[in-house]
Amino acid sequence: MYAEETQGVLIIAEPKFLEQESRPEESLYVFAYTITISNRSSETVQLVSRHWLITDGLGSTREVRGEGVIGQQPVIPPGEAFEYSSFSPIATPTGNMRGSYTMKLVSSGQTFNARIPLFFLRQLTETVH
């Protein structure tokens, strides 16, 4: 679990390797991630857009920008949270993701960037003893 808080907006990221979706022989490694956005501030906020930097183990970085997340621009009142899951394919068994969400204060319309914590993507092989 990785966490970062900006102006009372706590973002928690939990990545997971998807072995069944990956094809290492084709340099395709698929990682799912669950993001939880908790509003610890006293203001209602809305997630307006996203900006991701996705880097594979060779240092190749892909930039992703877009409105909202999973087709939504959620409004998160104080004390509430929004959670969603998505995925990202990369060409290597390791990599990382980081970025930010543009958040809007509903009362004033002011925006700020809430940092998404840097989190690592790793193809872990479980060893049973």
pLDDT in tens, 1-40: 999 999 999 999 999 999 999 999 999 999 999 999 999 9
pLDDT attached to residue 68: 97
Query: Which of these, 117, 36, 113, lies nearest to 76 by C-alpha position?
Result: 36
Rg (CA), the chain: 16
The widest CA-to-CA distance across the chain, in whole angstroms, is 57
128 falls in which pLDDT band (50, 70, 90)? low
pLDDT in tens, 52-111: 999 999 999 999 999 999 999 999 999 999 999 999 999 999 999 999 999 999 999 999
Residues with Cβ within 8 Å of residue 65, at least 6 apart in sequence: 49, 50, 51, 52
- Judge whether 25 and 91 are in contact, CB under 8 Å: no
At residue 116, does pLDDT exceed 70? yes
In angstroms, rounded to a whole number, what is the distance separating the alpha carbons of residues 69 and 47? 8
In angstroms, rounded to a whole number, what is the distance separating the alpha carbons of residues 44 and 14? 24
Q: Could you tell me the end-to-end alpha-carbon distance of the chain, in angstroms, rounded to an integer?
A: 25
Residues with Cβ within 8 Å of residue 23, at least 6 apart in sequence: none
pLDDT attached to residue 91: 97
pLDDT attached to residue 129: 52
pLDDT attached to residue 127: 47
Q: Which domains are assigned to the chain? A: 2-119 (2.60.40.1470)
Tell me the HSE value of 25 on the side-chain side, using a 13 A CA sphere. 0
